[in-house]
Structure 1
């Protein structure tokens, strides 16, 4: 089962979710999306909480209100953390999570340790705020989710969108090419019609040549 919550309304329409147990956490690690941000109490066990961002948003654009909701939820669902004050909560993009065969169920690491400092953020939760937890619990929904199918559907939709964007880009490029050719042809035609390059009937007469003579010369 996956447990879903709605973040505070004034922060926007955001979904926060977590696994019901450590096995579900494994599925979340495996089938997360690039828009997901992972939260966990540092150095002690806790549930894995995720915040799903919107397209184009990054971990550095998360509002303080959203961070507080996620951090409070992590603390409240940590056996050790919920009994402690000044708990440190770490959060990082889902793409930075690393799972190796030697790790226990629910255990996770990070890619490229040299980049952990810049990719992992830390915030301190001084104490539990019941008002926040109670509000989140009122939005709580549990459902059995096919995370693999959801990720495949999301990837397929994104692939179709990229294909459509590429098609539209090629169409615009072709229109621009045709437009350039059109104007190049117009400029070429205007060049041929420049008065200085044209010979009038008066000029022909002044040269003492008849139309027949001009035609004979041309032939």
Structure 2
């Protein structure tokens, strides 16, 4: 099962797996561009994720939102929940490294420099009670389907963007072609046989004034 929570008042989604086996699914089917991974530093804990909006910078997470996710992470660590003065580490999902040699539910980092820390002095029950009231549960399959739906939407958006780009390029080529044609034909009607005859007649008339 995957547990979902809603941050208030920002509305951001937080989620975590039931156990280390489900952590594997969260790693595999998370959203690398938007999900931020949280864990208690140097202690066993749940893998908690914050899903940012597409235009948000993970290094500029508001302090109150960061505290909410950190409190949820602390509360879901057997040892960390009982201790004061602990550190929560977090990094983008895209920075997680996982290979077959690693134990179930464990990860490392592609770039350790992209890991940030958040200090918690003690448990905040008010935050945890508020989050618990928003809790919903989905299956791992539903979580996987969310990722598949996102991938489908991203591909469709990319196709639409490329189609729009091709149309814009075609319209620009047509504009250039039309402008060139107008330039080439701008004076063409001045040199028709009729206009040339009229012009010669005027010149002939002027010869005898």
Bucket of the pairwise TM-score, normalised by the shorter protein: 0.7 to 0.9
Structure 1: stretches of 5+ with no match in the other structure: 209-219
Aligned partner of 1:128 in structure 2 is 123
Structure 2 gaps, min length 5: none
Moved more, 183-192 or 101-110: 183-192
Q: Deviations over 1:177-208 (max 9, x none)?
A: 1112112211222254679xx85224652798
2:43 — aligned with what? Answer: 44
- Cα distance per residue 1:95-149 (max 9 Å; x no partner): 11111212111111111xxx311x1111101111111001001111122131333
- How many residue pairs get aligned? The number is 200
1:22 maps onto 2:20 in alignment: yes
Q: Map 1:114-153 onto structure 2 (within 5 A).
A: 115-117=111-113, 119-146=114-141, 147-153=143-149
RMSD: 2.0
Structure-2-length-normalised TM-score: 0.88
Whole-angstrom distance in 1 between the partners of 2:137 and 2:149: 21
Paired residues for 1:1-219 under 5 Å: 1-9=1-9, 11=10, 13-34=11-32, 35-111=34-110, 115-117=111-113, 119-146=114-141, 147-192=143-188, 200-202=199-201, 205=204
In terms of Rg, which structure is larger? 1
The whole-number CA distance in structure 2 between the counterparts of 1:39 and 1:163 is 34
The CA distance in 2 between the partners of 1:40 and 1:156, in whole Å, is 30
SS in 2 for 1:156: helix
- State the alpha-carbon separation in 2 of the partners of residues 49 and 6 from structure 1: 13
Conserved? CA contact 1:8–1:65, under 8 Å: no
Q: Could you tell me how far apart the structure 2 residues matched to 1:25 and 1:179 are? A: 55
Runs of 4+ in 1 over 4 A off after TM superposition: 191-195
